């Protein structure tokens, strides 16, 4: 009897030893599952997934914690879900035997969208815990889109302005700020030109998985140029355990065709993604052909469960015609603008412990822009070239007839090269002091090099700036009800010196989201300051330098003109967010108040007689002709100040699991408080419209900033079924102030082609519809119809918009890829 007990005990001991040995060789995945406010979700289902198969399952404990293990190694995902939450699949990660890996999961509400965002703090954070105003758009939002222009119209506070048709220069005005006051990021690295200028039309949808849009200054985290907002694009990662190939090709109106191929997957510690697309179109105007060829790569390697290395690269070769303001000339310029944009990022990411994490990122951006004009289109009149006789109609009811100056006489073909190179190194560390308090510190070194070359006139101007940024942020929460952020940054720019940029934000949940008709009330408040460096053109075209070099010291002193320097912004906003009907509906309303000071203003070269009165008439004319011949139609100085305040409202509504609706409206009250055109040189007038003061190249005191309509809005509805997906969108804008910029450009050098600024640009309603239908597991068809109302005045005055257009295509897939993360 005793022997049998000993034998049984020995057997049990051996079993436990073998089990312990087996577990000691396993990968252990642990973490917590919480709701968007950080509250633990108990009894949530969690599963460890490898190669599309569930290999371990479990449930969270009362505190939301879980632990899963497997004897396998390789790429994994954690799948989690709970009652009233959408099932969520984590990003893929690598785990080997003996690794202990933390994977915290934040579940999203089942009906409305609450994303994980990074533009607020630089680290992933649930959108519900962020006080800042951030919107995210994902692949469904730009399904079938070839470019990212129209998807960004679906963001509150964003006014997207495209000068012309597909491929025309596209600017984004955020909450009334200037279009070059935005930081534009790709996988965490800046890709805008030196000084913030960015042409959105160069970004195709290929290789873009999602976009974050941060409304408000965030120079604390992202440095100079983030004075009005931040736009962050992300590249997809490979997720499948086998190569997944996707090809789509389409053709459409106006000679448009497009081909795109994508490949992604994982292999042990390695994940990969690559994409290539070629878009060609003729547009509807003469000499307005456009093409965009984009190549993308994203390669990741996980050295261990704690350390990963990632390399992303993107190249865009873009070329478009330069018909110009076709409505002003009645003919097109014969020119071309070519862009080659290359970006590269390399990141090392390491978790020292569950509480301490750090990363180092190198970023490179190379931007080449070449503008060519082979001959001076137009009718030769006294040495310059003018368009056809036309009548220009403003949306405000005013009109003007005549011939507008198209091209100056000079040397042709004419070529202008702009070069903007940037290398930066960024290091960041974040440490959870307690589960309720996190500190983030960062440092950035940036080397910027720019050049402007005009070969016909032997001009070759260059600049270089070495800049340093320092940042410290404290994020905390109290009882999952109050969330706050305090941050401070210092920018040391070689051109304008040292600038400080504080930021603070707080959110308070008076009522936490949950079951009920009126359950979930959040109040936000934010304050921030931003800074922006001048562009290459701004620095080279400095009015201060020009006057100093041409004997205008007395004008500098009389008008208080200073060397070109930093533009500044200050913003505060406050709002409320309300959940309704068991979180099926989400309402937001935010008041914002922005002040933009020391903004760059442009002074026309035709004002040389007023600025340099001590010169003779011949000398003034010679100097003006020289400026015009080298393309310096305007000189720059930090002279403008304006206010931009308003109200943003937004609604999200999830109807079942398949239908999602969004809509938003923004009211903007913009007012110029100081203008060099008003205060120093004086406004212009059209002799045929007596008594009306006009700003030729800049708005006047008390007027609205140009191209910023007081009323904008959007609406979208999407249906996602098993085989069919349909997305309908609309974008709306009221009339806005602008200029024809034709002062002194009729054949007699008069202002007869200027029109009053108020409400000069037309309002518009742009409606688009797209859909896909999956015929088999590997074959689908899709269609995209844009500008269904065929409105011609979506762009600013002078630029006819692309009328109703369509694309029809086929989509092939090999493999069954999961949704990219």
Is the per-residue pLDDT at 310 higher than 90? yes
Report the candidate in 789, 790, 737, 791 with the shortest Cα–Cα distance to residue 761: 737
Q: Tokens 């396993």 — which residue?
A: 26
Tell me the mean pLDDT in the region 466-490: 95
For 162-182, give the DSSP string. ESSSTTS-EEEEETT--TTSE
Q: Are residues 345 and 488 in the same domain?
A: yes
The pLDDT, as a whole number, for residue 25 is 55
Residue 543 lies in a domain: yes
Task: Catalogue the E-assigned strands of 303-413.
Answer: 307-321, 335-351, 356-373, 379-381, 384-386, 390-393, 399-402, 405-407
Among candidate residues 93, 109, 125, the one where a domain is terminated: 109
Which H/E stretch holds residue 3? helix 2-24
pLDDT tens, 42-76? 998 999 998 888 988 999 999 999 999 888 888 88
Higher pLDDT, residue 641 or 11? 641
Among candidate residues 109, 137, 164, the one where a domain is terminated: 109
pLDDT tens, 68-85? 988 888 888 899 888 778
Q: What residues have CB less than 8 Å from 363, skipping those under 6 apart?
A: 188, 189, 190, 343, 344, 345, 422, 423, 424, 425, 426
Is the per-residue pLDDT at 3 higher than 80? no
Looking at the structure of the chain, the number of domains it has is: 2
SS3 553: helix
456 phi and psi angles, rounded to 5 deg:
-65, -25
Least confident of 92-101, 109-118, 241-250: 109-118
Is the per-residue pLDDT at 370 higher than 70? yes
Is the entire prediction scored with pTM above 0.95? Answer: no
Among candidate residues 109, 135, 153, the one where a domain is terminated: 109
Ramachandran class of 210: left when φ > 0, alpha when ψ lies in -120 to 50, beta otherwise: beta
* Domain CATH number, residue 665: 2.40.170.20
The pLDDT, as a whole number, for residue 18 is 39
Residue 552 lies in a domain: yes
Is the per-residue pLDDT at 405 higher than 90? yes
The pLDDT, as a whole number, for residue 619 is 63
Structural domain range at position 666: 233-814
Which H/E stretch holds residue 326? helix 326-329
pLDDT tens, 176-221? 999 999 999 999 999 999 999 999 999 999 999 999 999 999 999 9
Higher pLDDT, residue 181 or 409? 181
The pLDDT, as a whole number, for residue 586 is 92
Would you place residue 625 in the very low, low, confident or very high pLDDT band (cuts 50, 70, 90)? low
* Domain CATH number, residue 59: 2.60.40.10
Residue 147 lies in a domain: no
Q: Are residues 296 and 432 in the same domain?
A: yes
Q: Are residues 264 and 396 in the same domain?
A: yes
Tell me the mean pLDDT in the region 469-482: 94
Number of H helices, E strands in the chain: 9, 49
Report the candidate in 361, 351, 259, 268 with the shortest Cα–Cα distance to residue 312: 361
Residue 187 lies in a domain: no
Task: Please report, for residues 178, 325, 604, 681, the alpha-carbon distance to residue 697 in angstroms, rounded to integers and kept in the order given.
Answer: 14, 15, 7, 12
Q: Tokens 């008076």 — which residue?
A: 510
The pLDDT, as a whole number, for residue 134 is 93
Q: How far is the C-alpha of 18 from the C-alpha of 56, rounded, in Å?
A: 19
The pLDDT, as a whole number, for residue 13 is 45
Q: How far is the C-alpha of 518 from the C-alpha of 508, rounded, in Å?
A: 16
656: exposed, middle or buried (Cβ count in 10 Å: 0-12, 13-18, 19+): exposed
Residue 191 lies in a domain: no
pLDDT tens, 752-810? 999 999 999 999 999 999 999 999 989 999 999 999 999 999 999 999 999 999 999 99
For 727, the token pair is 């997305």
Q: Are 660 and 113 in contact (CB under 8 A)?
A: yes
Q: How far is CA 279 from the centre of its chain?
A: 21
The pLDDT, as a whole number, for residue 258 is 97
Q: How far is the C-alpha of 548 from the C-alpha of 555, rounded, in Å?
A: 9
Residue 125 lies in a domain: no
Is the per-residue pLDDT at 638 higher than 70? yes
pLDDT tens, 330-340? 999 989 999 99
The pLDDT, as a whole number, for residue 626 is 60
Rg of the chain over all Cα atoms, to the nearest angstrom: 29
Q: Are 213 and 135 in contact (CB under 8 A)?
A: yes
Residue 47 lies in a domain: yes
Report the candidate in 425, 429, 542 with the shortest Cα–Cα distance to residue 495: 542
Mean pLDDT of the chain: 90
Tell me the mean pLDDT in the region 432-444: 95
pLDDT tens, 662-707? 999 999 999 999 988 777 777 899 999 999 999 988 899 999 999 9
């Amino acid at each position: 009897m005793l022997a049998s007990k000993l034998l049984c005990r020995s057997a049990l001991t051996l079993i436990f030893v073998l089990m312990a040995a087996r577990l000691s060789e396993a990968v252990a995945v642990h973490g917590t599952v919480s709701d968007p406010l950080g509250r633990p979700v108990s009894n949530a289902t969690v599963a460890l997934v490898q190669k599309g198969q569930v290999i371990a399952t479990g449930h969270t404990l009362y505190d939301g914690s879980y632990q899963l293990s497997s004897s396998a190694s390789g790429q994994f995902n954690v799948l989690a879900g709970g009652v009233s939450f959408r099932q969520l699949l984590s990003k893929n990660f690598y785990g080997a035997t003996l690794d202990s890996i933390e994977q915290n999961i934040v579940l999203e509400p089942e009906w409305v969208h609450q994303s994980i965002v990074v533009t607020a703090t630089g680290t992933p954070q649930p959108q519900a815990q962020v006080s800042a105003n951030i919107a995210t758009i994902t692949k469904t939002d730009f399904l079938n889109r070839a470019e990212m222009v129209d998807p960004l119209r679906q963001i509150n506070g964003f006014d997207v302005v495209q000068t012309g048709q597909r491929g025309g220069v596209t600017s984004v005005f955020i909450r009334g700020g200037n279009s070059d006051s935005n930081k534009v990021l790709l996988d965490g690295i800046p890709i805008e030109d030196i000084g913030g200028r960015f042409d959105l039309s160069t970004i195709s949808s290929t290789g873009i998985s999602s976009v974050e849009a941060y409304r408000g200054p965030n120079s604390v985290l992202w440095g100079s140029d983030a004075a009005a907002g931040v736009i962050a694009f992300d590249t997809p990662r490979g997720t499948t355990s086998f190569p997944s190939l996707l090809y789509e090709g389409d053709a459409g109106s106006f000679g448009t065709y497009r081909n795109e191929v994508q490949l992604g997957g994982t292999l042990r510690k390695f994940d990969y993604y690559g994409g290539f697309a070629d878009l060609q179109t003729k547009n509807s105007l003469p000499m307005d052909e456009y093409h965009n060829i984009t190549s993308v790569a994203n390669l990741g390697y996980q050295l261990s469960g704690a350390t990963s290395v990632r390399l992303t690269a993107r190249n865009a070769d873009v070329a478009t015609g330069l018909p110009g303001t076709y409505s002003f000339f009645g003919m097109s310029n014969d020119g071309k603008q070519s862009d080659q944009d290359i970006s590269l990022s390399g990141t090392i990411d390491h978790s020292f412990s569950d509480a301490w994490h750090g990363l180092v990122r190198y970023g490179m951006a190379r931007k080449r822009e070449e503008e060519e004009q082979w001959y001076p289109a137009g009718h030769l009149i006294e040495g310059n070239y003018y368009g056809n006789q036309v009548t220009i109609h403003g949306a405000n009811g005013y009109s003007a007839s005549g011939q507008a100056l198209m091209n100056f006489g000079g040397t042709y073909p004419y070529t202008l090269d702009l070069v903007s190179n940037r290398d930066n190194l960024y290091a960041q560390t974040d440490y959870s002091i307690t589960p309720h308090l996190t500190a983030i510190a960062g440092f950035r070194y940036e080397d910027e090099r720019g050049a402007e070359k005009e070969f016909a006139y032997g001009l070759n101007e260059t600049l270089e700036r070495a800049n340093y940024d320092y940042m410290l942020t404290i994020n905390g929460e109290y009882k999952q009800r109050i969330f706050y952020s305090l941050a401070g940054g210092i920018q040391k720019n070689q051109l304008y010196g040292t600038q400080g940029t504080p930021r603070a934000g707080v959110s308070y949940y008076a009522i936490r989201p949950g079951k009920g008709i009126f359950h979930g009330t959040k109040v936000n408040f934010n304050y921030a300051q931003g800074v922006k460096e001048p562009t290459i053109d701004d620095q080279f075209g400095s009015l201060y330098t020009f006057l100093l070099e041409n004997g205008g010291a007395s004008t500098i002193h009389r008008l208080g003109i200073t060397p070109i320097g930093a533009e500044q912004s200050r913003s505060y906003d406050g709002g409320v967010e309300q959940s309704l009907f068991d979180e099926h509906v989400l309402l937001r309303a935010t008041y914002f108040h922005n002040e933009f000071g020391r903004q760059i203003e442009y002074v026309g070269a035709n004002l040389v007689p007023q600025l340099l009165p001590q010169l003779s008439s011949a000398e003034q004319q010679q100097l003006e002709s020289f400026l015009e011949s080298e393309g310096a139609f305007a000189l720059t100085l930090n002279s403008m100040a304006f206010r931009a305040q308003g109200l943003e409202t937004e609604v999200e509504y999830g109807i079942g699991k398949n239908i999602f609706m969004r809509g938003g409206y923004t009211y903007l009250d913009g007012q110029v408080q100081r203008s060099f055109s008003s205060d120093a040189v004086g406004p212009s007038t059209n002799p045929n419209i007596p008594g009306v003061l006009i700003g030729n190249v800049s708005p006047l005191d008390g007027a609205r900033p140009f191209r910023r309509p007081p009323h904008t809005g959007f609406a979208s509805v999407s249906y996602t079924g098993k085989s069919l997906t349909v997305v309908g969108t609309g974008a709306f804008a009221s009339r806005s102030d602008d200029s024809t910029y034709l002062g002194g450009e009729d054949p007699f050098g008069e202002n007869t082609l200027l029109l009053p600024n108020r409400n000069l640009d037309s309002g518009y309603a742009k409606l688009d519809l797209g859909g896909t239908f999956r015929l088999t597991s590997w074959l689908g068809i899709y269609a995209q119809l844009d500008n269904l109302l065929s409105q011609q005045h979506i762009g600013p005055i002078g630029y006819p918009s692309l009328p109703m257009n369509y694309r029809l295509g086929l989509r092939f897939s090999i493999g069954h890829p999961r949704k990219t993360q």
